Amino acid sequence: MFAKAVLDNGIRVVSQEMPDHRSASLGIWVENGSRHESSRENGISHFIEHLLFKGTQRRSAAQIAEEMDAVGGVLNAFTAKEHTCYYAKVLDEDLPLAIDLLTDIFLYSAFDSEEIERERSVILQEISQAEDTPDDYVHDLFSLDFFRDHPLARPICGTAETVNAFQRQDFLSYFKSRYRPGRVIVSAAGHLRHDELVQVINQRLGSVSDARHDGRSTSRDGNSAPETRSGIFPHTKSLEQVHLCLGVPGVHQTHPQRYTAYVLNTLLGGGMSSRLFQEIREKRGKAYSVYSFSSSYKDVGYMGVYAGTSVEWVEEVVELILTELKHLSAGDIKDEEIRRTQGQLVGSMMLGLESTDSWMSHIARNEIYFGEPITTDEICRGIRAVSREAVVDLASSLFSSQGMALSLLGDFKDDIKIKSLDLGH
């Protein structure tokens, strides 16, 4: 059973009671991510996420970890483009501990100078590791190429230059300006009672107000929708393979055609039965990994294809991808293919929601993007209602060569092949 309450200070509390489970998951979500940073601040949201686990006024970093380990729970966090989440998963009997730990780090983190320097080194290693993982790094490059200079283009972790420049006061000022009650959602799912949860959260967080902030404007460029860029963008790096992302503008989070986009993306490259996997890997053996992907934000989105292949096969792989996009746009889709894809989407979604932590994330994201619960029945009906004609119409509108961007990462000793690539189809 889903329930929602809004505290007097604007903090939203959403929960899904799941009495048949023995676990409970709790997350404190902040509608703040790398999108809300200026170019100088790039990476500061992610850095703050790390720092909140490095000690409070009454707990050291070691004590935070020890208390959660002592009950076999999980305590973690992540930063995304548009939000940050701090969460815990515990046995139902240990939910009071999870609430105490999360609210403690959220309200009373020390931002200790020595911990900042230690964590700076950790984050610099994280950035280096990302750059050494080309199949992930090419997605960061694609965002930079596709979204131009918009904050959505920038990497969540920031760059070595920005991370090295942050000082303690930068963290304190940014935290004060962005971590405001109206941007905070407490989400919980599992063996719990909503009314009791609201009462405890109100005791812990109900006194937080904008009065503790300095009142400065928090307007940032990330509030505006980005312009997207098309073209071919090669990035040279000494690698055995070439990693590529080919993408086009897609649909945003609440777009009326979002269910159609789910079906289109899954049909194109969402599994081993998908068109791209069957054509490029199974039939031709031209790539070990090939798949399609879709990313959606509040006001913009994109759909794309990733492939890793050898330098000599780049042109052929790009042509094969473009051919599949052309087939979809032309209506070369069977009704049976649509039904199989719908079944795959419904099944994977329902299986993914069998745990309390996935439900906690599900209801929080619904609150962030829709402001209301979107039931699984509604999502299933939306997916099942997608017609073949709707998929064809969306494919023909999205897969236009005018809006395509191709980012490539590899060892291009001879760039003739890159220059000869043609995205027109």
Give the pLDDT confidence of 304-319 residue by residue, as tens digits. 999 999 999 999 999 9
Lowest mean pLDDT among 160-174, 218-232, 271-285, 338-352: 218-232
Q: Is 408 helix (H, G, I), strand (E, B) or coil?
A: strand
Residue 214 confidence (pLDDT): 44
28 beta partners: 86, 186
Residue 223 confidence (pLDDT): 73
Closest CA to 406 of 306, 327, 316: 306
Q: Is the pLDDT of residue 417 over 80?
A: no
pLDDT bracket for residue 416 (50, 70, 90): very low
Residue 402 confidence (pLDDT): 78
Q: Which is higher by pLDDT, 177 or 414?
A: 177
Q: What does R_g of the chain's alpha carbons equal in angstroms?
A: 23
Catalytic residue among 31, 37, 41, 49: 49
Q: Is the pLDDT of residue 218 over 60?
A: no
The answer to whether 28 and 364 have CB atoms below 8 angstroms apart is: no
Closest CA to 54 of 96, 89, 11, 86: 86
Residue 390 confidence (pLDDT): 97
Annotated active-site residue 49? The verdict is yes
Phi, psi angle pair for 288, to nearest 5°:
-75, -40
Residue 219 confidence (pLDDT): 43
Spatial distance between the Cα atoms of 144 and 158, rounded to a whole number of angstroms: 12
Long-range contacts of 336-344 (CB under 8 A, 24+ apart): 337/267, 338/263, 338/267, 338/386, 338/387, 338/388, 338/391, 340/273, 341/263, 341/266, 341/267, 341/270, 342/263, 342/383, 342/384, 342/386, 344/266, 344/270, 344/271, 344/273
Spatial distance between the Cα atoms of 90 and 73, rounded to a whole number of angstroms: 5
Residue 271 confidence (pLDDT): 86
Closest CA to 201 of 41, 10, 415: 10
Spatial distance between the Cα atoms of 173 and 196, rounded to a whole number of angstroms: 33
Residue 277 confidence (pLDDT): 93
- How much is the average pLDDT of 323-347? 95
Cα dihedral 42→45→50→56 (10° resolution): 130
Element (H, E) at 145: helix 134-146
Q: Is 282 helix (H, G, I), strand (E, B) or coil?
A: helix
Lowest mean pLDDT among 13-17, 206-210, 338-342: 206-210
61-73 pLDDT, tens digit per residue, is 999 999 999 999 9
- How much is the average pLDDT of 129-137? 94
Q: Domains in the chain and their CATH numbers?
A: 2-212 (3.30.830.10), 231-420 (3.30.830.10)
Q: Is the pLDDT of residue 217 over 90?
A: no
Alpha helices in 152-254 (DSSP H): 160-165, 168-178, 194-205
119-129 pLDDT, tens digit per residue, is 999 999 999 99
Tell me the residue length of the chain: 425
Q: Is the pLDDT of residue 256 over 80?
A: yes
Total-model pTM: 0.93
Element (H, E) at 409: strand 405-410
- How much is the average pLDDT of 85-91? 98
Phi, psi angle pair for 28, to nearest 5°:
-105, 115
Q: Is the pLDDT of residue 213 over 50?
A: no
pLDDT bracket for residue 415 (50, 70, 90): low
The pair of structure tokens assigned to 67 is 């208390």
Spatial distance between the Cα atoms of 350 and 389, rounded to a whole number of angstroms: 26
- How much is the average pLDDT of 167-190? 96
- How much is the average pLDDT of 353-378? 95
Spatial distance between the Cα atoms of 155 and 157, rounded to a whole number of angstroms: 5
DSSP secondary structure letters along 291-340: EEEEEE-SS-EEEEEEEEE-GGGHHHHHHHHHHHHHHHHTT---HHHHHH
Average pLDDT, the chain: 93
pLDDT bracket for residue 381 (50, 70, 90): very high
Spatial distance between the Cα atoms of 266 and 294, rounded to a whole number of angstroms: 9
Spatial distance between the Cα atoms of 277 and 114, rounded to a whole number of angstroms: 49
- How much is the average pLDDT of 387-413? 91
Residue 211 confidence (pLDDT): 53
Spatial distance between the Cα atoms of 152 and 91, rounded to a whole number of angstroms: 37
- How much is the average pLDDT of 191-199? 97
